[in-house]
Each structure stands twice: as C-alpha cells, then as structure tokens.
Amino acid sequence: MATIIVYQKPGCASNARQIKALKSAGHDVVVQDILKQPWHADELRSFFRNMPVNSWFNRAAPRIKSGEVNPDSIDAASALALMVGDPLLIRRPLIDVDGARSAGLDREPVLSLLGGKPQDDLEVCLHEAHRTRCPQT
C-alpha cells in the first residue's frame, strides 16, 4: 500500500471522511495542515496539473461564496497568487503520493488508491449539503 500525504483543513468533516476512506483502503496517511503550509505558486501549481483553473478552487470558501473571488473569470497566475495568500481558496484535499500530486479525490492517482472509481460522496462538502457553517479556522 501507498504512503499518502494529505493536505487538509483541520476540523473539516469532509476531509476527515476522505482521510478515513484512504486509511480504510489500507494506505498510510500523513496529514498536513493546508492552512499552515508555506505555499509557493510553483509547488501549488503542481497539484493542479491539467485541471481547468476554475476547478482549482474550494467553492465553499468564504471569499468565493461572497462573490469577492470569481473562479470562473481568473487566470492561473492570479489564482495561484490568491491561493498563496489565502489557502482557504484551495480545493481540498491536496494529495501527494510519491510525487504524483492531485487536488480532490476525483482523478489519478487517488482513483486507483480508492479502487478505480470516483468517490462522489467523498467530494461533497458536508456543511454545504446540510446547510450548516464550516468553522473558519
């Protein structure tokens, strides 16, 4: 089984479920705090690979929900600059498996680690689904 580094937001119920799923699949999971990581644009960019820029964002982030940041009308350099300054904007979890990186659980290498099929229920924000507030740590 693989050793997986997962960058998550502490206290996020969705990230906790995602980590549990990876552990249940038999993997060793090393959890890192996405909010305390000293991000650099180039490093952050490596998690998004060929994803469209608008899918790099955490749509539940307060600045997106308020309309201050519009992921659908931003270029890559500006997106990365915003995310370096405000990690709540970053789509979670960020995954690193021996240098193979991804954002979210709906693409490789994570799909193979979870049995090869999308885990749609793991991508859903529990707070959004239940219309409750996420802790803003």
pLDDT tens-digit profile of 57-81? 999 999 999 999 999 999 999 999 9
pLDDT at residue 31, rounded to an integer: 97
Q: At what angle do helices 76-85 and 41-48 cross, to 10 degrees?
A: 110
CB atoms within 10 A of CB 115: 9
- Whichever domain contains 69, its CATH number is 3.40.30.10
Q: Is 40 a member of any domain?
A: yes
How many domains is the chain built from?
1
Catalytic residues: 12
What is the C-alpha radius of gyration for the chain, rounded to an integer number of angstroms?
A: 14
The reply to whether 137 falls in a domain is: no
| pLDDT one-digit tens code per residue, 4-39 | 999 999 998 888 988 988 898 889 999 999 999 999
pLDDT tens by residue, 77-99: 999 999 999 999 999 999 999 89
Structural domain containing residue 34: 3-130
